Amino acid sequence: MRQEFAASIAGVNQNVNEEIVSLKDKISELLAGMNGLVNSISNTRQGAKAASAMALTTQPRLDHQQDQARPQAAVPPPSTQPMAVDKGALRPQLRKMDTKPPVIEGDIDGMKLNSFIFQFEQYYKQKGYVLDVHGDLMADELNQSVKTAALVWYEQYMTAPNTDKTWAAMKQSGTYHDYVLRFRELHRVVNIEEETAMNLFYNGLSSNIMRENIRRTKPKDIKEAMNAGFLEQDIQMPGTAPSTLPKSTKREPTNLGNKRPHNGTMKPSKVTKTKCNFCNKGFHAEDECWAKHPEKRPKRPSSRNEELDAKIYAALQRIMRPHGNFPKLSRIKEDPGESTSANVAEVHVHENEQKPTEEKEEKQVKNENELEKEQKLKGEARKNDEGQKKAEEELEMCALLHVQSVLPYDRNDVMLSNSNFIDNGASINAVSPEFCAAHGLEQFVRQDNSFVTITMANQQQFTVQRRVISLTVFLDGFALFSDEFLILPIPDNCDVQLGMPWLRKTEKESKDAEVTIESFAGSPVYPVLKKHARVFQAKLPKELPPIEHGEHKMDVKSQEPVYRQ
């Protein structure tokens, strides 16, 4: 096995050596060919140099031989008389040009000086002038191509030694058109960078609005900035072309000496303002002083909607409030061994009783916050209807809130007045956290780890932690209602919200209850109900009113609820 492996390695080495030898032979042949090519190139170069040298030596000989072979003309002898020059022979034969010669005027539509010179020379060369020979004739043509403005420009700027200093005085004193004209004339003479020229152009504008509007377009060079200014001027002055604008609106001062212009009228002198002698605060006459004459103070116009809302709410309060005092709940002691919840044992209704002792007992139970709230409500009611001041104090509408006790010992029941918010679209009963905190009910609140999702009227949802309290609510005309109330904010700054759980319980009782006009005897609305007894009937007739009252129909759109029409 080893012998075979050694034999194979020896064969491979022999083949590699043979290939290397053949490769060396090919490389040597290639180098020999390249050397021959280099030699041929060098020989060619030497032959070219020899040919050029021979041409240089041979050309003078050929020229000399040709000169000798030409016949020589007879040269006349020099004359002593002066030669007459024909001026007509020097005037060139001019061609008729189809285009007009270039013109430089020096305004914003003119060409630059170098461009004008180039076009001028090319034009008159094509016409037939020779610039070196016909210089005097070219001066006449140049006088026709250069207008008056360009001549003034040349005399004003080109010959001035302090041309660079005129940039500091480049300010807009007239129209925008004249300012651009002067700026371009100076910019053609004094070459400055584009950024520097744009900054000088912005600083020279008299209108800050135009300056900001031009910068807002972000021009790349001074030409774009000027064009943006012309567009802005067209926007500010529509229908007015730049060519129709006056050249300058600046008036030159007239030297009048010590004389003043007189047009028949005297300029009024400045009136010094003095403060009011009564209040010493404002610059007004004493007769117009509001502190001295309060009736002259302008009154704020009252909103008609606010007055209308106040009248409507006052009328609703007078209609909805029952006549007489509120029922009195007797207070009893509960048995320590029985249930921990305190119930109301008896409800006595005392009509036409006005005892000041009862009012004092109620006020002793209420805390200071409730007293302030009650006084505020009474003050607002007094403003709405001052004539019913005494009735408003006696006929205040409120609900009594009774807290279920959770203590296993005797406890007196507490009456807490509150404001109710009855919502027939709410599926829960709720009490405001502010009301619970104000009356110390936080200790009776039960809280767990569950959450409740609340959906608002606008379909907006939010999630709150479930916090409940057991309450018993007494509302005048309804039975006692005991249930769990969620701790939630109540709209319209109310304390308690009664929803569908309260309505479902009171629905059966309200259906069976019958209210007649006589039950409102002694109420302010009793005369109105008595006068329109046919309108306020206990049961409405099943048939429709007579046809003379009009058609009893209305248009109902199927895609829109009826209550929104």
Q: In this structure, what CATH number is given to the domain that contains residue 407?
A: 2.40.70
- To the nearest 10°, the Cα dihedral for 359, 365, 370, 376? 20
> Does any domain span residue 458?
yes
d(CA 49, CA 436): 121
Tally of structural domains, the chain: 6
On whether both 152 and 164 belong to a single domain, the answer is no
Given the structure tokens 């009048």, which residue do they identify? 256
User: 14-23, 422-431, 542-551: which range is least confident on average?
Assistant: 542-551
On whether both 434 and 481 belong to a single domain, the answer is yes
> Does any domain span residue 251?
no
Top-confidence range, 273-282, 315-324, 367-376 = 273-282
What are 237-243's contacts with CB under 8 Å, separation 24+? 242/175, 242/176, 242/177, 243/177
On whether both 523 and 422 belong to a single domain, the answer is no
- Helices 222-236 and 194-204, packing angle to 10 deg: 30
User: 53-57, 213-217, 239-243: which range is least confident on average?
Assistant: 239-243
On whether both 442 and 507 belong to a single domain, the answer is yes
On whether both 479 and 415 belong to a single domain, the answer is yes
Strand runs labelled E in 283-429: 328-329, 347-348, 399-403, 416-418, 420-422
On whether both 104 and 136 belong to a single domain, the answer is yes
What are the pLDDT digits (tens) for 499-541?
A: 888 877 776 555 545 667 887 888 888 888 888 887 777 666 6
Q: What is the mean pLDDT of the chain?
A: 68
d(CA 418, CA 401): 7
Give the domain-ending residue among 111, 137, 157. Answer: 157
- Structural domain boundaries, residue 117: 95-157
d(CA 524, CA 462): 45
> Does any domain span residue 56?
no
d(CA 439, CA 423): 24
Q: Are 174 and 247 in contact (CB under 8 A)?
A: yes
pLDDT at site 465: 83
pLDDT at site 565: 44
> Does any domain span residue 484?
yes
User: 42-46, 71-75, 299-303, 336-340: which range is least confident on average?
Assistant: 336-340
pLDDT at site 307: 55
The answer on pLDDT for 545 being more than 50 is yes
Give the domain-ending residue among 239, 256, 288. Answer: 239
d(CA 176, CA 194): 20
> Does any domain span residue 368?
yes
Q: What is the pTM of this model?
A: 0.24
pLDDT at site 392: 39
> Does any domain span residue 366?
yes
On whether both 413 and 507 belong to a single domain, the answer is yes
Average pLDDT (305-316) is 51
On whether both 118 and 151 belong to a single domain, the answer is yes
On whether both 445 and 480 belong to a single domain, the answer is yes
On whether both 371 and 407 belong to a single domain, the answer is no
> Does any domain span residue 564?
no
User: 152-166, 300-314, 434-448: which range is least confident on average?
Assistant: 300-314
Percent residues over pLDDT 90 in the chain:
1
pLDDT at site 44: 86
Q: Please, which pLDDT band fits residue 19 given cuts at 50, 70 and 90? A: confident
On whether both 228 and 132 belong to a single domain, the answer is no
What are the pLDDT digits (tens) for 140-184?
A: 777 777 766 665 655 555 555 555 556 667 888 888 888 898 888
The answer on pLDDT for 56 being more than 50 is yes
Q: What is the DSSP string of 75-134?
A: PPPPPSSPPPP-HHHHS--PPPPSSPPP-B-SSTTSPPHHHHHHHHHHHHHHHT--TTT-
pLDDT at site 450: 84
d(CA 421, CA 489): 11
On whether both 507 and 412 belong to a single domain, the answer is yes
Top-confidence range, 108-122, 258-272, 453-467 = 453-467
What is each CA distance from 437 to 188, 289, 442, in whole angstroms?
A: 85, 50, 6
The answer on pLDDT for 1 being more than 60 is yes
> Does any domain span residue 277?
no
